[in-house]
Amino acid sequence: MRVRRAAVAGAQGLALALMGLTGSVVLLSLTLVSLALIPIGLGVFTTPAVLRLVRTHALHRRALAERWQGIRIPVSYRPFPHDVRGGPTGQVERCTLMLKDPATWRDVRWLLVDATGAPVVAMLAPALVVEGVFGLLLAGGLWKPIVRAEGGAYWYTFVPVENGTGAGFAGLVGLALLAVALWWNPALIGAHFRLTAAVLRPDRETELVERIDRLTETRHTALDTSAAELRRIERDLHDGAQARLVAVGMSLGTVEALLEKDPAQARKLLAMARESSAEALTELRDLVRGIHPPVLAERGLGDAVRALALRLPVGCEVDVELPGRAAAPVESAAYFAVSEVLTNAVRHGGGDRIWVDVSYADGALRIAVTDNGRGGAVAGPAARADGSGTGLSGVERRLGTFDGVLAVSSPVGGPTMVTMEIPCALS
């Protein structure tokens, strides 16, 4: 088991080093060039696109930190406001908002670290394995052609190899390096991610200020959303159930007039009134289900999510591990957030399987929705300028009301993983 962990850590270190020396270097160069072009106006249009790539890169690294080492790096990007027509902000305003966000500059600082020092830490893990194996190969006879080609002693680390004795010492050093790799490779990967977390995570004072700003913004959003929801309910009642009930009342009035004169016509009107009342009842039930599903109130979030999964046109597996129930507003927000994410996965993902994991740990409700679709999903700070990704952005705003966060990992080609966390207590 220890050998496997060391080998896996070596492969992870190589992958992280390549990400830093390629992706981070390229993105850092593009960012600096784009920022330099702002004074002449061109950078205003290129900078948001480049910073979206940077944020996607950083979000992917956060996902790897949690998946590989269990290190959670909070996402603290400020949400984008929407204009009066409900669309995304303009390009110039978007650029300004992104540059004013402290998280943007933490990302840029992290790119510099990830392109320089972080790859060195990550490369130590595969280097220990490779150097250790190479030392054993030298002891096994590989030293002969190498010494012959060198025309003299070949230095392996600090050991001169020019004969069998030197090769034997090289083998011992190789064994020592492999022993170090067995014990320290996972720790080296952990050190890489802790360095990443130290750069990306805001300090306590900044975190509190950002949290206050975010809660203020989400409070206004919650009030606007609540007002819009009340208008929707009023409109649905007026155009749906209320209209049908008025029609039922008119039909019953006509029945009273026709009951003695034309009983047959009266029976037809009664049948029509009964159908209208049944349709009004169905619409009222649908309306209530849209406000707060009965299954959610009666059986909790787990069973409500399972009920959602049963109605999907694709296969969906739901795994729930909740030791209790959250407050009703939290459950409602989580339910409708999951519903929106599942709808997006079916409508835009293009996959045939979805996995939903609902759990509770460290004082937070955690929900992960994964699909095997085509990928490319975006949300919030990574949303495209054309307004795509507004569904997930709406989920982010809904969760923000409860100080929750949303993270999206969706490389092109898939899979897509949407993770939601809401701080809460269970009863």
As given in the structure block, the two tokens for residue 256 are 């009273």
% residues pLDDT > 70 (the chain): 82
pLDDT of residue 85: 38
Over the chain, what is the mean pLDDT? 81
The DSSP secondary structure of 253-274, one letter per residue, reads HHHHHHTTT-HHHHHHHHHHHH
Q: Summarize pLDDT for 33-77 with one digit per residue, the tens.
A: 999 999 998 889 999 999 999 999 999 999 899 889 888 888 878
pLDDT of residue 225: 58
Has residue 213 been placed in a domain? no
The torsion defined by the Cα of 126, 129, 130 and 135, in degrees rounded to 10, comes to 160
Of the three residues 138, 168, 202, the one that is the final residue of a domain is 202
- Read off the pLDDT band of 358 (50, 70, 90): very high
Label residues 316-326 b or e (16+ Cβ within 10 Å = b).
bebebeeeeeb
Residues 107 and 143 in one domain: yes
As given in the structure block, the two tokens for residue 124 are 């130590």
Has residue 208 been placed in a domain? no
Residues 194 and 129 in one domain: yes
Q: Summarize pLDDT for 366-424 with one digit per residue, the tens.
A: 999 999 888 877 665 444 434 444 567 778 877 877 878 888 888 888 788 889 999 98
Residues 57 and 146 in one domain: yes
CB 64 within 8 A of CB 17: no
Global pTM reads: 0.56
Interval 212-237 mean pLDDT = 64
Has residue 211 been placed in a domain? no
Q: Choose between 382 and 301: higher pLDDT.
A: 301
The torsion defined by the Cα of 120, 121, 123 and 126, in degrees rounded to 10, comes to 160
- Read off the pLDDT band of 214 (50, 70, 90): low
User: Crossing angle, helix 263-291 and helix 242-258, to 10 degrees?
Assistant: 160
pLDDT at 334 over 70: yes
**Cα separation, 194 vs 95, whole angstroms:** 30
**Cα separation, 54 vs 382, whole angstroms:** 9
Residues 55 and 194 in one domain: yes
User: Rounded to whole angstroms, what are the CA distances from 398 to 69, 103, 222, 340, 358?
Assistant: 29, 21, 7, 11, 18
* Residue whose C-alpha is closest to residue 308's, from 274, 264, 340: 340
pLDDT of residue 93: 83
Residues 89 and 26 in one domain: yes
CB 405 within 8 A of CB 74: yes
Residue type for position 114: D
Has residue 333 been placed in a domain? yes
User: Crossing angle, helix 117-137 and helix 164-200, to 10 degrees?
Assistant: 160
**Cα separation, 332 vs 300, whole angstroms:** 10
Q: Summarize pLDDT for 81-106 with one digit per residue, the tens.
A: 654 334 445 778 888 888 988 889 99
% residues pLDDT > 90 (the chain): 21
pLDDT of residue 28: 94
pLDDT of residue 381: 46
The DSSP secondary structure of 88-146, one letter per residue, reads BPPHHHHHHHHHH-HHHHHHHHHHHHHHTHHHHHHHHHHHHHHHHHHHHHIIIIIHHHH
As given in the structure block, the two tokens for residue 307 are 């009920």
Residues 10 and 120 in one domain: yes
Has residue 70 been placed in a domain? yes
Question: Which of 24-38, 87-101, 113-127, 329-343 ranks highest by mean pLDDT?
Answer: 24-38
Residues 345 and 279 in one domain: no
Helix, strand or coil, per DSSP, at residue 375: coil
**Cα separation, 119 vs 366, whole angstroms:** 31
Burial class of residue 192 in the structure, from the number of CB atoms within 10 Å of its CB (0-12 exposed, 13-18 middle, 19+ buried): buried
pLDDT at 357 over 50: yes
Helix, strand or coil, per DSSP, at residue 63: helix
**Cα separation, 53 vs 159, whole angstroms:** 46
Query: Domains in the chain: how many in total?
Result: 3
Has residue 349 been placed in a domain? yes
Residues 276 and 418 in one domain: no
Identify any residues that bridge with 364 across adjacent strands, giving them in sequence order: 361, 423
Has residue 142 been placed in a domain? yes
Domain that holds residue 385: 299-423
pLDDT of residue 196: 93
Interval 267-287 mean pLDDT = 72
Residue 84's contacts (CB-CB under 8 Å, 6 or more residues apart) are: none
Residues 374 and 272 in one domain: no
Of how many residues is the chain composed? Answer: 427
Identify any residues that bridge with 318 across adjacent strands, giving them in sequence order: 356
* Residue whose C-alpha is closest to residue 23's, from 60, 70, 62, 68: 60
* Residue whose C-alpha is closest to residue 345's, from 381, 319, 369, 317: 369
Has residue 141 been placed in a domain? yes
Residues 229 and 248 in one domain: yes
Q: Choose between 62 and 221: higher pLDDT.
A: 62
pLDDT of residue 157: 80
pLDDT at 223 over 50: yes
pLDDT of residue 250: 74
Question: Which of 120-124, 243-247, 353-357 ranks highest by mean pLDDT?
Answer: 353-357
As given in the structure block, the two tokens for residue 351 are 């996959």
Residues 39 and 147 in one domain: yes
**Cα separation, 73 vs 358, whole angstroms:** 20
Cβ neighbours, 10 Å, residue 186: 21
pLDDT of residue 114: 93
Of the three residues 291, 313, 330, the one that is the final residue of a domain is 291
pLDDT at 222 over 70: no
Residues 330 and 228 in one domain: no
Q: Choose between 260 and 227: higher pLDDT.
A: 260
pLDDT at 246 over 90: no
Q: Choose between 306 and 293: higher pLDDT.
A: 306
pLDDT at 227 over 70: no
- Read off the pLDDT band of 350 (50, 70, 90): confident
**Domain CATH number, residue 312:** 3.30.565.10
As given in the structure block, the two tokens for residue 425 are 């207590």
pLDDT of residue 35: 93
pLDDT at 150 over 80: no
Chain centroid, CA 96 distance in Å:
24
pLDDT at 356 over 90: yes
What single DSSP character describes residue 35?
H
